[in-house]
Amino acid sequence: MSKLQPVRGTHDLLPEDARRHRHIVDTGLRVSQRYGFGEIETPIFEFTDVFKRTLGEASDVVSKEMYTFTDRGGEELTLRPEGTASVCRALITGGLTQNLPAKFYYQGPMFRYERPQKGRMRQFHQIGIELLGAAEPQADIEVIACGADILDAIGVLSRTTLELNTLGDTDSRKAYRAALVEYFGDHRDALSEDSRRRLELNPLRILDSKDEGDRRLVEHAPSFDDYLNDYSRDFFAAVTAGLDALGVGYHRNTRLVRGLDYYCHTTFEFVTDALGAQGTVMAGGRYDGLVETMGGPAIPGVGWAAGIERLALLVEGVADPARPVAIVPVGAGSEIEALKLAHRLRRAGHAVEHGYSGNVGKRLKRASKVGARVALILGEDELARGAVQLRDLDAGTQDEAALDRIEESLARFR
* pLDDT tens-place string over residues 160-201: 999 999 999 989 988 988 898 898 888 888 888 888 888 877
Average pLDDT for the chain:
90
- Let me know: does 284 contact 303? Beta carbons within 8 Å: yes
Question: Which residues on neighbouring strands pair with residue 270, listed in sequence order?
Answer: 162, 282
Q: What is the pLDDT of residue 1?
A: 42
pLDDT higher than threshold 80 for residue 54: no
Q: In Å, what is the CA distance from 403 to each residue of 94, 383, 394?
A: 54, 8, 22
- What DSSP assignment string belongs to 249-282? --EE-TT----STT-EEEEEEEE-SSSTT--EEE
Question: Does the pTM of the predicted model rise above 0.75?
Answer: yes
- Candidate from 5-19, 219-233, 255-269 with smallest mean pLDDT: 255-269
Q: Is 263 annotated as a binding residue?
A: yes
Q: Could you give the residue ranges of the DSSP H alpha helices within 370-400?
A: 380-384
Q: Is 258 annotated as a binding residue?
A: yes
Q: Mind listing the domains of the chain with CATH numbers?
A: 15-169+229-314 (3.30.930.10), 325-413 (3.40.50.800)
- Containing 132, the helix (H) or strand (E) segment is strand 123-132
Q: Is 82 annotated as a binding residue?
A: yes
Q: pLDDT tens digits for 202-245?
A: 788 888 788 888 888 888 888 889 999 999 999 999 999 999 99
Between CA 310 and CA 316 the distance in angstroms is 12
- Containing 387, the helix (H) or strand (E) segment is strand 387-392
Q: Is 262 annotated as a binding residue?
A: yes
Q: Is 112 annotated as a binding residue?
A: yes
pLDDT higher than threshold 70 for residue 259: no
| DSSP code, position 74 | S
Q: What is the pLDDT of residue 57?
A: 57
Q: Is 303 annotated as a binding residue?
A: no
Residue 397 phi/psi, 5-degree rounding, is: -95, 160
- Let me know: does 116 contact 9? Beta carbons within 8 Å: yes
Edge-to-edge order in the sheet of strand 325-329: 352-354, 325-329, 374-378, 387-392, 397-402
- Let me know: does 95 contact 120? Beta carbons within 8 Å: no
Give me the mean pLDDT over the 363-374 stretch. Answer: 88
pLDDT higher than threshold 60 for residue 117: yes
Higher-scoring residue by pLDDT: 67, 333: 67
Rg, the chain, Cα only: 28
- Let me know: does 71 contact 77? Beta carbons within 8 Å: yes
Q: Is 130 annotated as a binding residue?
A: yes
Q: pLDDT tens digits for 93-113?
A: 999 999 999 999 999 999 999
User: What is the share, in percent, of the chain residues with pLDDT greater than 70?
Assistant: 96
Q: What is the pLDDT of residue 53?
A: 80
- Let me know: does 217 contact 115? Beta carbons within 8 Å: no
pLDDT higher than threshold 80 for residue 386: yes
Helix, strand, coil share (%) of the chain residues, nearest 5: 45, 20, 35
Between CA 313 and CA 291 the distance in angstroms is 34
Where residue 69 falls among pLDDT bands split at 50, 70, 90? Answer: very high
Q: What is the pLDDT of residue 61?
A: 67
Q: Is 363 annotated as a binding residue?
A: no
Q: Is 48 annotated as a binding residue?
A: no
Helix axes 137-153, 230-246, angle to 10 degrees: 30
